[in-house]
Structure 1
Amino acid sequence: MTRQKILITGASSGLGAGMARAFAARGRDLALCARRTERLDELKAELLERHPGITVAVAALDVNDHEQVPKVFGALRDELGGIDRVIVNAGIGKGYPLGGGKLWANKATIETNLVAALVQIETAIEMFTAAGGGHLVLISSVLGNVGVPGHKAAYCASKAGLSSLGQSLRAEYSSGPIKVTVIEPGYIESEMTAKSNTTLLMVDNETGVRAMVDAIEKEKARAVVPGWPWRPLVELMKVLPTRFVHRFA
């Protein structure tokens, strides 16, 4: 099934902008939202210049403003004439060792990556139920499979929670018109990974996004991307003693 009208949160940069470019190249209509509207406007202009046959709607959205999420989703749906797929992508990578005195950083990560994601999920499911179907995509992380000591502890916990929500939804909507996919990216070049100074096993944005979009289009229940080397590494990380896991993370 072709999902023609796609909503992406956190679309102003990184993986969100990369997915927007990839879907635009496939002729899809896009609803893009993020906090940085100037970047969204630039991205919209770029996409329409390259692919004049598509429709691109943009809107300002801070996903932590929970009351605005259903309003913005609804306005974008109305502008496009419907939404077939929602990609819950907005997230941050702040963090500090637990007990290190920077609760605000860990709290912000949990609130943005998990609580705000829950609000987006609720909104999308309600929208799809009213429309008679749709495809919900949750952008988690390979680090949602394992706890990592240090500044990534809260990030891992937030992504583990998001993956768990996806698993619950897949069980609830195991049949019927609503499909649920959880994508677990490894290290893909983006603003977030640049700030983390992570270089081990990093792939460029285009390669990583291509793997993500291919998995999304197949509507897989769960996909670790890129498959090599991350699929075997994820399984290895699950069984390694915790003190060794940080070498991959």
Structure 2
Amino acid sequence: MTTRQNILITGASSGLGKGMAAEFAKQGSNLALCARRLDRLEELRSELLAVNPNIKVLIKSLDVNDHNAVFEVFDAFKQEMGQLDRVIVNAGMGKGASIGTGFFNANKQTAETNFVAALAQAEAAMTIFRAQNEGHLVTISSISAVRGFRRAMTVYAATKAGLTSMTEGIRLDVMNTPIKVSCVHPGFIRTEINETVEKVPFIVDTETGCKALVKAINKEKAVSYVPSWPWALLHWVLRVAPSSTIRKMS
């Protein structure tokens, strides 16, 4: 298990980003947190410093779809902290509907946020890591990356499949160097993004899910599925399940 001292998390004001920040605060890491909602980040900073007053918590407002701002904010955090040891590309969204039903703008917004903006974050992080010749890039994909899904999941799953593939390419690029690259695939974790969805198999609460996420991230494996039960096994089942079964799931 590796403890990285200075950790940057995007999309940190809610959901998995906020939950991971709390877990990393407990383990004593300094945090660089960014999201669109600065007021929420200010509240979170107070909460984290109450948990562990011995850490640094830096916050900045960032819309990851403003690509120039991504580079500027990451560089500013790097300057303030001296070094970034880990960057977690977590910001994302799940808007959308079936293709061809009048929701192109929502689908496009999800595609841009979950993939193009993730590319910008990866570029900014890897530029810093290459200069340092050290660091750990983590992308938060999804169990949905393993198959295509219907309705609101169609574009979301496609972006996560793209993110998984892109992360593998980055990892191959810097393999056998001091730069580590990991792709984590959360299963169903209850957060604000899915709080209105009622029937979800194997869903866990935010704290349980984030503890599993941080445990997996600290191991720095190339690919992981969390919580490991049942997803370390179930992702293989999903890959070979009949299309009729996948259709019923979404």
Identify the TM-score tier after normalising by the shorter chain: over 0.9
Instruction: Kindly provide the CA deviation profile for residues 77-128 of structure 1, in whole angstroms up to 9, marking residues without a partner as x.
Output: 1222211000000000111100111100110111000000000001100000
Partner of 2:185: 184
Aligned counterpart, 2:142? 141
Shift, 1:243, TM fit: 2.1
Inter-partner Cα distance in structure 1 for 2:117 and 2:198: 26
Amino acid aligned to 1:206: E
Q: What one-letter code is carried by the residue in structure 1 that aligns with 2:235?
A: V
Q: CA RMSD in A?
A: 1.1
Distance in structure 1 (CA, Å) of the matches to 2:231 and 2:249: 10
> After superposition, where does 1:13-52 map in structure 2 within 5 Å?
13-52=14-53
Which range moved further: 74-83 or 27-36? 74-83
Structure 1 runs of 4+ aligned residues shifted over 6 Å read none
Change (3 A) 1:136 1:126: same
1:123-162 equivalences under 5 Å are 123-162=124-163
State the alpha-carbon separation in 2 of the partners of residues 75 and 158 from structure 1: 28
| Distance of aligned partners of 1:153 and 1:179 in 2 relative to their CA distance in 1, 3 Å threshold | same
Note the C-alpha offset of 1:246. Answer: 3.7
TM-score by length of 2: 0.97
| Corresponding position of 1:101 | 102
Compared CA separation, residues 80 and 44, structure 1 to 2 (3 A)? same
1:189 deviation in Å? 1.2
- Counterpart CA distance in 2 for 1:218 and 1:181 is 9
Change (3 A) 1:89 1:198: farther
Contact 2:7/2:29, CA 8 A, preserved across alignment? yes
Question: Alpha-carbon deviations, 1:134-192, whole Å to 9, x = none?
Answer: 00000000000100112210000000000000111121122111100000000101111
Secondary structure, in 3 states, of the residue corresponding to 2:72? helix
**1:56 correspondence with 2:57:** yes
User: Partner of 1:122 in structure 2?
Assistant: 123
Deviation track 1:16-54 (CA, whole Å, cap 9, x = no partner) reads 000000000000000000001100000001111121000
Task: Please tell me whether the aligned partners of residues 200 and 248 of structure 1 are also in contact (alpha carbons under 8 angstroms).
Answer: no
Gaps of 5+ in 2: none
Task: Tell me the CA shift for residue 2 of structure 1.
Answer: 2.7
In structure 1, distance between residues paired with 2:247 and 2:229: 19
SS in 2 for 1:150: coil
The CA distance in 1 between the partners of 2:244 and 2:36, in whole Å, is: 37
Which shifted more, 70-79 or 86-95? 70-79
> Is the contact made by 1:133 and 1:178 (CA closer than 8 Å) also made in structure 2?
yes
Which residue of structure 2 lines up, in the alignment, with residue 220 of structure 1? 221
Equivalences, count: 249
